Amino acid sequence: MIIYFVRHGETEWNKKKIVQGHKDSPLTIKGTSSAERLGKLLRGKKIEIIYSSDLGRCVQTAEIINRCLKVKIIKTKKLRERNFGDLNGRPNKEVKKILDLNNPDKKAPNGESFNEQKERVVLFIKKLFSEKFKKILLVIHDGTARAILSEHYNANFNSKKCGTYSNKIYKIIK
């Protein structure tokens, strides 16, 4: 099985440096263009299904990519970004003053820690291995991708190996 994954395109709140978490912001023109480019790059990969976070920015990205792929999209809460609770929708600077983002066990009030997010995401990925599909695309968030890469490389989620970009295709072979 091959799991490809991409991070959603740039959003208005990404540009404004606002933590989205479980809140949403639409894609920018740059984000839409990036998704279109990814769709063209993924066209020849013979992807059979797309699993997307159910948050709007990922759904929007998945739908743009799917113009090229023309496969079923399944939206799931399991692939959501980390829930920053009371800090969802607040400026990055403010969040960094309140929450130690380098500690994977720290969580915002009414939110989840990185490790809780990672557990949710890894459990979902493990279930995918029992699917009949050979090539899957995930449309996800930075934190979700970091959780996958952290598990795959057995590395700290803040390590260079776990950094993500909106215009790159990642691949895990199992």
Domains within the chain, CATH numbers bracketed: 2-173 (3.40.50.1240)
Check whether 11 is labelled as a binding-site residue.
yes
Phi, psi of 169 (to 5 degrees): -100, 130
Distance CA 114, CA 124 (A): 15
Would you say residue 172 has pLDDT above 90?
Answer: no
8, 112, 141, 151: the catalytic one is 8
Check whether 120 is labelled as a binding-site residue.
no
Q: Which pLDDT value is given to residue 91?
A: 97
- In this prediction, residue 162 has a pLDDT band, given cuts at 50, 70 and 90, of confident
Check whether 8 is labelled as a binding-site residue.
yes
What is the tens place of the pLDDT at every residue in 129-155?
888 899 999 999 999 999 999 998 888
Q: Say whether 8 is catalytic.
A: yes
Check whether 67 is labelled as a binding-site residue.
no
From the list 9, 15, 16, the residue with the least C-alpha distance to 57 is 9
Q: Which pLDDT value is given to residue 154?
A: 86
Check whether 131 is labelled as a binding-site residue.
no
Q: What percent of the chain has pLDDT over 70?
A: 100
- Distance of CA 154 to CAs 21, 34, 161, Å? 24, 29, 10
Check whether 94 is labelled as a binding-site residue.
no
36, 81, 119, 131: the catalytic one is 81
Would you say residue 167 has pLDDT above 90?
Answer: no
From the list 142, 121, 119, 38, the residue with the least C-alpha distance to 78 is 121
Q: Which pLDDT value is given to residue 161?
A: 80
What is the tens place of the pLDDT at every residue in 40-69?
999 999 999 999 999 999 999 999 999 999
What is the tens place of the pLDDT at every residue in 64-116?
999 999 999 999 999 999 999 999 999 999 999 999 999 999 999 999 999 99
Would you say residue 165 has pLDDT above 80?
Answer: no
